[in-house]
A and B are shown apart, each in its own frame.
Chain A
């Protein structure tokens, strides 16, 4: 009996320690948040892979003429979106068709892009890499360029133990870096933890928010990750039908993914086509700009009724979702030292 137990103990020990490869940073699920959607078992976090993904994120090598990197449209100081650009700018000064989304808390994403066309974070980067208005390259050529680079071929070898880089390795390391972009240290979060108190205006705004907005912008991630028609009139220069492009189903016409409101202070302009510059314009849309249609979100049928004072309170609350630690976190910034260190070694 004792022997049996010790054998079981041994097997458990081997399972827990025997197969652990170097450093596996724990994924930080903030307290009170749901479990992440991302399956970390298929791509366990590893500091080398995260750093490699971070270099790729900041390296224009992913684009056809080495002019555009991920950060071109997703810069940290604007919570990883493209500040002041209604539609994203890409290669040769070309202009895309949608507002680049802010990147944060991607581990909880069920689908990606405004229309949810991408079903997994790993596969997301393929879209901008291949889009002729964005990076205009393809993953095969990107792998070729990375393999040819002495620096990257070494980094992929150290991170994945492979001499021959595959597309999956590029995508998985990009995922690893993007997964670390967790924003959970806003004033709202600190209030929730009981560390600080809201001002009266913020508190009133929070109650109004819970009443009018939180069914779609669900706490704590501030999105329900569903697709909704929020009553924007169709821009006839873009004719963007949203989710319907993916499902080819009329019930999805003009529906777009509900974006998170976290860091909204930094992510202007707003909406899938960046049509609104200010939070005031956004709220005015919900108060008096809703365009009726058959696919309009049910709770917006009568618009949202807010007085000017209430509007100011809601804005005060929305500003509590800013996370300065996130936008200034040095772990997410341009990996200058990694690039320099590896350049030195390659010399």
Chain B
């Protein structure tokens, strides 16, 4: 197509062709833009047809019961009890594998799981229709690149209360509550686990087997997690460091899938 001074520029044609897509103006000549747009449209419809929705459900529990925040006191043993006020953590970089073969990787995969918001516990994944998988991998926390990428929105927005203000970095995992085991002010315990700078990286990679290919259910039993801690001495970790790393490892180890 030679340059033509009387016809509109390519840029103008692009806008006119957008009108054509809307059914407003069909008179205009078939141009490269149409081809590109049709290809894109075809590609996107065929793409969505090949996908199915599966539910990835996170279940924070205490002694096999769904976790209830605030009002409920749970028995730790004969004499001690515990109450939880906050449980929030980031799940990122979700991928599904058939043995060692990658079959699905979620784009822009950052999710804030908040025990106080039921909706946040279920993550819908759009995976290929034919995909068979037996393993799920994800991160507990936020990777170092994202940690140095400036202000980010939605689940990564700093209004979510999962970003440190006195020193840059995401809080990967936050658990707060109180227990008579803690000889602290108001018997409180606070675990704000994070840190992306070497040698204090607190991100943990989790790999779990999965049984069903239409839904995935992952438990986080807080009773088992607390059984690995001594609340009388470990009750406040709010900065990156070895303590945070150690507790992050313990937390990551308690994520359990529905497969025995």
Roughly how many angstroms separate A117 CA and B240 CA in the complex, as a whole number?
A: 12
Roughly how many angstroms separate A9 CA and B161 CA in the complex, as a whole number?
A: 47
Contact A123 B159 (CB under 8 A): no
Q: Does B47 contact A (CB under 8 A)?
A: no
Roughly how many angstroms separate A138 CA and B147 CA in the complex, as a whole number?
A: 20
Which residues in A have their C-beta under 8 angstroms from that of B167? 117-118, 246
Which residues in B have their C-beta under 8 angstroms from that of A210? none
Task: From the candidates A18, A126, A175, A248, name the one contacting B165 in the complex (CB within 8 A).
Answer: A126
Which residues in A have their C-beta under 8 angstroms from that of B163? 123, 126
Roughly how many angstroms separate A118 CA and B152 CA in the complex, as a whole number?
A: 15
Contact B150 A129 (CB under 8 A): no
Q: Does B233 contact A (CB under 8 A)?
A: no
Mark each residue of chain A from 302 to 332: 1 if its CB lies under 8 Å from any CB of chain B, else 0: 0000000000000000000000000000000
Roughly how many angstroms separate A138 CA and B166 CA in the complex, as a whole number?
A: 12
Chain B residues touching A, majority SS: loop
Known contacts A3-B1, A130-B165: does B147 contact A18 (CB below 8 Å)?
no
Q: Does A235 contact B (CB under 8 A)?
A: no
The residue in B13, B151, B169 that gathers the most chain A C-beta atoms within 10 A of its C-beta is: B151
Which residues in A have their C-beta under 8 angstroms from that of B200? 248
Q: How many A-B residue pairs have CB under 8 A?
A: 97
Known contacts A7-B32, A10-B10, A168-B151: does B159 contact A119 (CB below 8 Å)?
no
Task: From the candidates A120, A131, A140, A247, name the one contacting B149 in the complex (CB within 8 A).
Answer: A120
Q: Does B23 contact A (CB under 8 A)?
A: no
Contact A13 B158 (CB under 8 A): no
Contact B14 A119 (CB under 8 A): no
Q: Does B232 contact A (CB under 8 A)?
A: no
Roughly how many angstroms separate A53 CA and B159 CA in the complex, as a whole number?
A: 18
Q: Does A43 contact B (CB under 8 A)?
A: yes
Known contacts A10-B33, A248-B241: does B158 contact A171 (CB below 8 Å)?
yes
Nearest-neighbour CB distance to chain A for B248, whole angstroms, equals: 16
Roughly how many angstroms separate A17 CA and B9 CA in the complex, as a whole number?
A: 12
Contact B168 A10 (CB under 8 A): no
User: Is the interface on chain A under 10, 10 to 19, 20 to 34, or 35 or more residues?
Assistant: 35 or more
Roughly how many angstroms separate A153 CA and B147 CA in the complex, as a whole number?
A: 28
Contact A6 B32 (CB under 8 A): yes
Nearest-neighbour CB distance to chain A for B251, whole angstroms, equals: 21
Chain A residues touching B, majority SS: helix
The residue in B156, B159, B161, B163 that gathers the most chain A C-beta atoms within 10 A of its C-beta is: B159
Roughly how many angstroms separate A120 CA and B159 CA in the complex, as a whole number?
A: 17
Contact A172 B151 (CB under 8 A): yes
User: Is the interface on chain B under 10, 10 to 19, 20 to 34, or 35 or more residues?
Assistant: 20 to 34
Roughly how many angstroms separate A13 CA and B154 CA in the complex, as a whole number?
A: 32
Q: Does A178 contact B (CB under 8 A)?
A: no
Contact A166 B159 (CB under 8 A): yes
Which residues in A have their C-beta under 8 angstroms from that of B31? 10
Q: Does B246 contact A (CB under 8 A)?
A: no
Contact B2 A2 (CB under 8 A): yes
Q: Does B148 contact A (CB under 8 A)?
A: yes
Q: Does B157 contact A (CB under 8 A)?
A: yes
Task: From the candidates A120, A131, A166, A247, name the one contacting B166 in the complex (CB within 8 A).
Answer: A131
Contact A171 B151 (CB under 8 A): yes
Nearest-neighbour CB distance to chain B for A68, whole angstroms, equals: 16
Contact A120 B148 (CB under 8 A): yes
Closest to A173 in B: B151
Roughly how many angstroms separate A229 CA and B138 CA in the complex, as a whole number?
A: 41
Task: From the candidates A3, A14, A122, name the one contacting B14 in the complex (CB within 8 A).
Answer: A14
- A-B contact sample (13 more), CB < 8 A, given A14-B33, A18-B14, A139-B165: A10-B13, A10-B14, A11-B32, A13-B11, A14-B11, A14-B14, A43-B151, A119-B169, A123-B150, A167-B151, A168-B157, A168-B158, A248-B200
Q: List 20 A-B contacts (CB under 8 A).
A: A2-B1, A6-B10, A10-B14, A13-B9, A117-B168, A119-B147, A120-B148, A120-B168, A122-B150, A123-B168, A126-B165, A139-B165, A140-B161, A166-B153, A167-B151, A168-B156, A168-B157, A172-B150, A172-B151, A175-B150
- Chain B interface residues (CB < 8 Å from chain A): 1-2, 9-11, 13-14, 31-33, 36, 147-154, 156-159, 161, 163, 165-169, 197, 200, 241
